[in-house]
Structure formats: structure tokens, C-alpha cells
Structure 1
């Protein structure tokens, strides 16, 4: 996690919270908002990485025991 830029780390934190615990926010909306932030605030490569991580989290969230 040390090599991940702080802005990317924080975008992921917020979006993962929204995906896992904020039921009033649809997963695609949380992911889209995170990607918009990443495109504005981070590097070109970051949005692809963030999209992959969040897509995976959204796809397995029902299997997680939280």
C-alpha cells in the first residue's frame, strides 16, 4: 500500500465503504464517482486500477462475511 498514491488510496477507501455499507448508493454509481475523481485528481493509469479493484469488490461483496 505504500506505493499506492495517497489520493488513490483514499478514493478506494471511500468507494469501498459505499459499495459495502452504503446501501442507498448503487454500486455502479459509487464506482463511476470514484473513477471521475481518479481521472481528475490522479494519474492516467490510476483509473484503470481503481476500476478493477472496485469492480472485483462489488462482484464478491455478497460472499464476504462482514
Structure 2
């Protein structure tokens, strides 16, 4: 099982820092997820959301 560390941890899988992606057996992975120290990792990279476009202000026209 591929997991991503949510915090700095150490144990049978070695020392890992937050954000590290590593492979553990399914039982250990389930235990770490239950303790909320890792999350299941996907093979796809995270896609950053683009901010919503800013509203465009209407320009006032000069009266002659």
C-alpha cells in the first residue's frame, strides 16, 4: 500500500517526514491511517485549484 505521511513519524518503515510517500504492507498501512498519521497516496499528482477569476469592473465613459 502506498501512503503519504501527514506528520513526522518513525517505526518499522524508517524515519519519514510530512509529505513523504512510501510503501508499507496493507495491515500497517490500515493501522497508520486509523491513527491519522498517514493517508492513502494515489499515483496521480495533486492538482492545485486555480483561484476564481476576479470580476471585471465596468469602466465609466466620459460625458462630453
Q: TM-score, normalised by structure 2?
A: 0.30
Question: Which of the pair is proportionally richer in helix?
Answer: 1
- Higher-strand-fraction structure: 2
Q: TM-score, normalised by structure 1?
A: 0.30
